[in-house]
A and B are shown apart, each in its own frame.
Chain A
Amino acid sequence: MSSGRIHNNVRKLRFNSSEMTQQELAEKVGVTRQTVIAIEGDKYSPSLEVAFRIAHAFGVPLEEVFQYEASDA
């Protein structure tokens, strides 16, 4: 079975969205600021619903926020 990692551009997209703060994004998405920090640091992969809400908050498609990098284990 192959395993992989999910990377994201949340920090870059935040910066490009008028330097949106982590707290502002957290409030838009409905999670805590700690969860936004964990997502940005690749320490947590959010649920599909939260991932869509993040993409919606930035007004971009999901694949522009999250990328899946497959690697054979």
Chain B
Amino acid sequence: MDLSYQEKSILGTLLATVVVYGYYFTSALRHAGEFDAGSIGRFIFAVIAIVVIQIVYHIVLALESKPEPKDERDILIECKAYRNAYFSLATGAFLVISCVIMAVLMHDATPARIIVTPFLIVNLVLLFMVLAELVKYLSQLFYYRRGLR
């Protein structure tokens, strides 16, 4: 399959996001609970890891294939992908808000008090942000392959 520079760049970013945040969320699930130095450390590690992977990958990519500046088609595809990502993020935000409202309404119910912790809320928001990013990358790859008609 012949991939353009932009497609290779997006594919690399997509894989880095899946691997790094996959590790982060798996780790967060194992250490579910209140915030501590470990959970903040894991988040900082994930952010640094993704930046380093991106830099190294794009250096290798630039050496292997000639970087191309974005043209009007790339920008249009990016705009359409951001639209899809926005809907994903808005849905996620609605779910998190619903979750918090439910917890407030049932504040006397023990299960709700235990389940809806600041740790969960922060990780849910982060999860939906990452999912929105993934929707953006996948949308871009889809529009590059299918075309804009």
Interface string of A33-53 (1 = CB under 8 A from B): 111001001111111001000
Whether, in the assembled complex, B71 has its beta carbon less than 8 Å from a beta carbon of chain A, the answer is: yes
Q: How far is the CB of A7 from chain B (nearest CB, A)?
A: 12
Interface string of B112-149 (1 = CB under 8 A from A): 00000000000000000000000000000000101111
Q: Which secondary structure dominates chain A's binding surface?
A: loop
Give the residues from 73 to 91 in chain B that come closer than 8 angstroms, CB to CB, to chain A.
Answer: 73-74
Are B146 and A32 within 8 A (Cβ)? no
Whether, in the assembled complex, A20 has its beta carbon less than 8 Å from a beta carbon of chain B, the answer is: no
Give the residues from 7 to 38 in chain A that come closer than 8 angstroms, CB to CB, to chain B.
Answer: 30-35, 38
Are A31 and B147 within 8 A (Cβ)? no
Whether, in the assembled complex, B98 has its beta carbon less than 8 Å from a beta carbon of chain A, the answer is: no
Are A47 and B72 within 8 A (Cβ)? yes
Whether, in the assembled complex, B9 has its beta carbon less than 8 Å from a beta carbon of chain A, the answer is: no
Chain B residue numbers with a CB within 8 Å of A32 are 4, 6, 68-69, 71, 73-74
Q: How far is the CB of B99 from chain A (nearest CB, A)?
A: 41
Q: A38-B147, A41-B147 are in contact. Are A46 and B6 (CB under 8 A)?
A: no
Are A44 and B71 within 8 A (Cβ)? no
Are A44 and B74 within 8 A (Cβ)? no
Chain A residue numbers with a CB within 8 Å of B147 are 38, 41-44
